[in-house]
Structure formats: C-alpha cells, structure tokens
A and B are shown apart, each in its own frame.
Chain A
C-alpha cells in the first residue's frame, strides 16, 4: 500500500532534498520504520528515546492529526497522504 509522505524542510537534508516520498506501509509506526530503511537517521528525529513520537512532531493522515486517530497505530490505505509537520507554528 503506497502512501505519499510530505517531508518538512527540517528533514529534507536526510531525504536528499525530497519534499515528498512514496512509502509502502499499513500503519504510522510501520511507516516510520520504512522511512528509516530508506533514509537512515530519520527515525531518531521523529521518535524520542522511549520510541514515542516527539512532543514537537505532528503527523497528519489526510489532514487529520493522528492524536485524534489511533496515534502510531493509525491505519493507512493506498493513496493516503501523510504530512509530517513541526508543531511549532502560530502564536498568540
């Protein structure tokens, strides 16, 4: 199941400048492992030392925050778009 992953600027050095990559994965957790195989070093940017998604990293599946879905267990299907976005933005 191929999904499109949108990569933020902060990680593009690891993806050789690519802003969008195609990955085969059925959950967010698996997607992170597959990303690591293709782009070594990306996993430690996304997960903290306990293997949890870092506090300031947000994942969205088709525009919905995975914290409103099933977190790392959120299921993926063919054609889904996963966005990785820094939490730090906006402000008042």
Chain B
C-alpha cells in the first residue's frame, strides 16, 4: 500500500524520497514522514486494528514500516485508571499510560527503536547506533542483539550505573563520552557523517520519532476510541510530546476518533528547561542551557524539537511547567504510594507537574486526563537514596517485633 508519500522538511516543505536522511539539505530543518491519509482511510478501521497484534504494530497503517522485524512485542502497555492519585489531586478521570513496563527494556524507547530498527533493516543496515541518556541505549542494545545487528551506543560518562549495566549486558560497544548529552549528540552527529550505520536518533530519526505516535494511538483505543481532554508528558528533545499530538491528530484525520485532540501539558526539570523558557517568553527559538538536574533522562540542553513543542503547546491550548529536584523525588514517591508504579525521574517530573497543574485548577474535575509515564524507577534507584524510610531492623525475636514494629507502626 502506498501509505507513504515521502519525507518533507518541517521548515521549508522541500520534499525528499524515503531514505536514511534526517536533515533538509537546504535549510537544515528536520525531515518528517508524509502519509497519504486518503489512501490510509480506505483500509484502516477500528475493527482491523483491534484484531491486530497485541503490540504497537497493530497501528502499522500509520507507521513508516512495511515489514516489521524488530521489537515485535513493543508497546500495548497498560492504561491505568488512577483512582488513588486522582482522589489526591481532585481528578475523577485520571489515567496513567504506563510505559515503565514496555518490552523489552522498560521504557517508551522500545517503541521508537522497534520502528527505527525495522526501518533500518528495510534499508539494509547491519549496524545500529545511538546517542543516549540511557534508556535509548538500553533499548537499542537489546533490540540490536535480538535482531542480529551490530551495535554501538554513545552515552555521557556520568550516567547512572544501572543504565550503563542495562546496556552492557546485551554486549554492544558502549562508548562513554566525557561530557553531557548534548556533547554526545554532537559527536554522534559527526560520526554519523562518516560511517554507514543506522543511528536511530540521527539518520533514521524521521522514522524513529514516528514510533512515539503509538502512545497516542493506544491511549485513544484504550479509552474506547476517543481522545482524552488533556495530556501531561515529559519534554526532553520535544519529540515525544509533538508526536503524541501528531498521533491524536492523525486518528482524527483518518476518522478513528471523533473528538478533538487533547490539550498538551509539558513537563521539564527546573535544572534543564529550555523549552519551558521559550514557551513562557513567547520565543519560537531555543536558547540552549547547560543541564543541572537529577532527571538525566530528560536533560537535553539543546532540544531539537523544542520549537515544535512550543508550537504544540500553543495550538492545543496547553501549557508547560517545571519541577525542582525535590519535587521530582516527591513525584516519584507520590505515584509509587498511590498507584504502585515505580517510575524514574522523568516520570517524577511528569507527576510533579501534573500535581502543579491540578492544584492550579487547569483541569475540570470530570475531564479525562492522561499522564505519560515513560521510564522505570528500578533503573535509577540511587536517586532515592536518603529520601525513603529505612527498614526496621530487629533480632529474630517476637518481643523485639512487638516493641519495634507493632509499637511503632500500629496506632491506637
């Protein structure tokens, strides 16, 4: 099916063929996949999707892949009605889209990598690579291993230990670069010029980023084929946020949902908030920053899709907010103790910002609000050191148990 027309520059509109390229040769704007929605409309239906595989590939008609071969179990994660957290925040219809249990590496990155590497295989690449703050490296390493590709991952040297181990176990070449994510990204852009590798977030980025749309598709289907009223999502490069918006808009375009796409609320860490700052100052350009936050997975000081994220916030009547390190930790703990979900710092940022917006009253109590949890807390446990209660230490004696445990924890 000719579902794809080609690539086009988001800035100047110049068109390009479907190739492993990501930048407009003329103005350096980002290239994006352009679909033939009229053609797609003819064959897509709710019934067809519902009969499809229990993975993101059920939405293949709206993805830039013909033959999925990598990440066949990625996506289709739970959408949880968050009754307890909702009660705490005064929201009757709060949902958590829980990508902390994505397959195989427990973050939303499994979606984008499944799409990127399936496309890379179609292009004939035998080597996968990426620049990463950790989650992406984990996912590329795992999916390259399972699909028999060689793999190079580039990470900032100061990453959380567990995220490094979480890549090394799959036996890729891990390159730890002295510098922050923006330095790693810049180096990777230069390397991508020289080697014929599929850099998932560089030369195959137009395909990779489309994978995030499935976060919108799944939520719409799980809500009974409708868009929520509002969405809260983390902002790092701005790609996920803009693609969730694109996903809901596409569903409307092809007739799978009838109501309007949601208001888009974005969450950044206070110590790295270039998109939030641009939005608040009414700029359509990004002033880069040097990140200083515990939320390393979203610490991108020079966010590629920042200008588009600002545009989406405006177009959708949304807003953006920031969370401090303390608020991020409190956000992680709040989600854990109310909903039993352990997320990482990006999720803590999202919950902290959800709480701020709820307290400000931007949501009507009956509205359907979806918070996107994109990563798993078990990967970055060290950030919680010193922020949790200690175990109650006792000898194996009933007497001690009664005094120290029952005496201290049972009231009354």
- Contact call B304/A10, Cβ cutoff below 8 A: no
In the assembled complex, B318 has its CB within 8 A of some CB on chain A? no
What distance in Å separates the Cβ of A62 from its nearest Cβ neighbour in chain B? 12
- Contact call A90/B131, Cβ cutoff below 8 A: yes
Which residues of B (261-310) have their CB < 8 Å from a CB of A?
A: 285, 287-288, 290, 297-298, 300, 302, 304-305, 307
- A24 to B157 Cα, complex, angstroms: 35
What distance in Å separates the Cβ of B236 from its nearest Cβ neighbour in chain A? 4
In the assembled complex, B208 has its CB within 8 A of some CB on chain A? yes
What distance in Å separates the Cβ of A44 from its nearest Cβ neighbour in chain B? 8
Known: A90-B181, A92-B136. 13 other contacts (CB 8 A): A8-B23, A9-B193, A55-B285, A57-B28, A67-B288, A68-B288, A83-B190, A89-B188, A90-B201, A91-B208, A91-B209, A92-B135, A92-B298
- Contact call B194/A90, Cβ cutoff below 8 A: no
In the assembled complex, B141 has its CB within 8 A of some CB on chain A? no
Q: Which of A8, A56, A60, A83: most chain B CB closer than 10 A?
A: A56
The answer to whether A10 and B23 touch (CB under 8 A), given A54-B28, A91-B305, is yes
Q: Which of B181, B193, B205: most chain A CB closer than 10 A?
A: B193
Chain A interface residue count, Cβ-Cβ cutoff 8 angstroms: 27
Which residues of A (7-38) have their CB < 8 Å from a CB of B?
A: 8-11, 13, 19
In the assembled complex, B403 has its CB within 8 A of some CB on chain A? no
What distance in Å separates the Cβ of B120 from its nearest Cβ neighbour in chain A? 15
In the assembled complex, B223 has its CB within 8 A of some CB on chain A? no
- Contact call A89/B189, Cβ cutoff below 8 A: yes
In the assembled complex, A75 has its CB within 8 A of some CB on chain B? no
In the complex, what residue of chain A is closest to B25 when comparing beta carbons? A10
Which residues of B (189-213) have their CB < 8 Å from a CB of A?
A: 189-190, 192-194, 201-202, 205, 208-209
The answer to whether A92 and B27 touch (CB under 8 A), given A65-B288, A85-B190, is no
- In the bound complex, residues from chain A placing their C-beta under 8 Å from that of B236 are 91-92
- In the bound complex, residues from chain A placing their C-beta under 8 Å from that of B343 are none
- In the bound complex, residues from chain B placing their C-beta under 8 Å from that of A8 are 23, 189-190, 193
Chain B interface residue count, Cβ-Cβ cutoff 8 angstroms: 51
Contact with B along A62-92 (1 / 0, CB 8 A): 0101011000000000000001011111111
Contact with A along B137-164 (1 / 0, CB 8 A): 0000000000000000000000000000
Q: Which of B27, B112, B239: most chain A CB closer than 10 A?
A: B27
In the assembled complex, A4 has its CB within 8 A of some CB on chain B? no
- Contact call B28/A90, Cβ cutoff below 8 A: no
What distance in Å separates the Cβ of B28 from its nearest Cβ neighbour in chain A? 4
The answer to whether A86 and B300 touch (CB under 8 A), given A56-B23, A91-B201, is no
In the assembled complex, B185 has its CB within 8 A of some CB on chain A? yes
In the complex, what residue of chain B is closest to A19 when comparing beta carbons? B193
- Contact call B190/A86, Cβ cutoff below 8 A: no
- In the bound complex, residues from chain A placing their C-beta under 8 Å from that of B205 are 88-89, 91
- In the bound complex, residues from chain B placing their C-beta under 8 Å from that of A45 are 25-28
In the complex, what residue of chain A is closest to B31 when comparing beta carbons? A88
In the complex, what residue of chain B is closest to A46 when comparing beta carbons? B28
- A90 to B306 Cα, complex, angstroms: 12
- Contact call B190/A63, Cβ cutoff below 8 A: no
In the complex, what residue of chain A is closest to B234 when comparing beta carbons? A92
- In the bound complex, residues from chain A placing their C-beta under 8 Å from that of B192 are 9, 89
- Contact call A87/B190, Cβ cutoff below 8 A: no
In the assembled complex, B101 has its CB within 8 A of some CB on chain A? no
- In the bound complex, residues from chain A placing their C-beta under 8 Å from that of B183 are 63
- Contact call B304/A89, Cβ cutoff below 8 A: yes
- In the bound complex, residues from chain A placing their C-beta under 8 Å from that of B304 are 87-91
In the assembled complex, A43 has its CB within 8 A of some CB on chain B? no
- Contact call A92/B26, Cβ cutoff below 8 A: no
- A68 to B133 Cα, complex, angstroms: 22
- Contact call B302/A65, Cβ cutoff below 8 A: yes
In the assembled complex, B58 has its CB within 8 A of some CB on chain A? no
- In the bound complex, residues from chain A placing their C-beta under 8 Å from that of B298 are 92
